Chains A and B, each alone.
Chain A
Amino acid sequence: MSSICIYLYILTAAAVIYLVRMLPLTLIKKEIRNPFIKSFLYYVPYVTLAVMTFPAILSATSSPVSAWAGFITGAIIAYVDGNLFKVSLGACAAVFIAALFV
């Protein structure tokens, strides 16, 4: 495949992805007053991120045991502290340690 062709593919994907992200941000300029839509959009982050995290995290590492260790450790640190960096690093550390034993 020619290099130009590959860049055209990349351009196509990038253009579609950008439009999907850009259109709502530029078309919805005002504060939405409709209580349903407003509430819906308020809940979107929690639902989307929860759906994306679980159960995907369980198959993210080399074994379910280390993945569970990462998930539970991350959840506990998030509950106690909530700091992004600590949670992220704690989950990684738990996976690393658990993987040594499994």
Chain B
Amino acid sequence: MMKHRKNPREIYLATDNRKEFIHGIQAGIPIGMGYLAVSFTMGITARNIGLTPLQATVMSLACHASAGQFAAMNIIASSAGFLEMAVTSLIVNLRYLLLSSSLSQKISPRTAFGHRFIMAFFVTDEIFGISSARQGYVNPFYMYGAAAVAAPSWELGTFLGASLGSILPPSIANAMNVALYGMFLAIIIPPARKNRFIAGLVLLSMAASLFCSSVSPFSQISEGFRIIILTVIIAGLAAVLRPVEMEAGETRGEAKETSTQVQ
């Protein structure tokens, strides 16, 4: 396991970076589509609470977080204090702590701090999702490629929604609402098909999520907390039942070793 630290090939080559950037752009296109739909709605909400298109777009540019931005707009609309804004933002976005921790193990330990600071800016659910689905280590340029398409779509959608209100035909806007969920399915189902344990995990997660969102008193829990609590419990349970290193040929560590050789 230690040998990859010494492997000079782990330092990304310029050609790899370019290739990974292009792969990222390709994966970023469906994300951008979904973002247009969601951020459009966000722009309309921003307009409704009295934000200018510029303010709404700056918020999207600075946050890249859907639930986080809706919560922030709520705080602005109610003129609550800055402390409340900070605490609410922390709670609503706490899952990124888990996602970023997971991502920290998905990138090469040698990844420079500069890259880590930039990557952190683009850890959205979707970009995290496609990065986790990569074989082996994620090259930072893969994330940058995805972000190069996805982030401007997010800003553009917000701007259009805030300046024009609803312009898309309702039937199209309605259909685009599932774009991001479709992407999540494309990330979790293929590995579930190959691995029964992951299949069980995905089904259990969905069942638990359905249960907690519809049965009182669990349904009182906010969506943000539901995601965090269920992730901690179910992923924790999975880690106890099936520690990854014991599954020969399926651990991420092994995948990393192979990909290191490929790179």
Contacts and interface: CB of A to CB of B under 8 A. Distances in A.
A67 B223 CA distance: 19
Contacts of B72: 9-10, 13
Interface string B61-100: 0111100110010011001001001100110011111111
A102 to B, nearest CB: 11
Contact of B182 (A42, A44, A74, A100): A74
B196 to A, nearest CB: 13
Interface string A56-74: 1100111000110011001
B120 A47 contact: no
Interface string B191-214: 111000010011001101110011
Contact of A20 (B26, B82, B94): B94
Interface residues of A, number: 77
Contacts, number: 317
Interface residues on B, range: 35 or more
A88 B132 contact: no
Interface string B227-263: 1001100111011101111100001110000000000
Contacts of B22: none
Contacts of B82: 8-9, 12
Contacts of A87: 30, 182-183, 185-186
A22 to B, nearest CB: 4
Contacts of A37: 239
A78 B190 contact: yes
B120 A18 contact: yes
B105 A38 contact: yes
Contact of A70 (B76, B170, B178, B252): B178
A43 B235 contact: yes
Which 8 A-B pairs have CB atoms at the shortest separation, nearest pair first?
A91-B182, A50-B205, A39-B239, A22-B120, A14-B62, A87-B186, A78-B189, A96-B175
Interface of A: 1, 3, 6-14, 16-18, 20-26, 28-32, 35-57, 60-62, 66-67, 70-71, 74-75, 77-79, 82-93, 95-96, 99-100
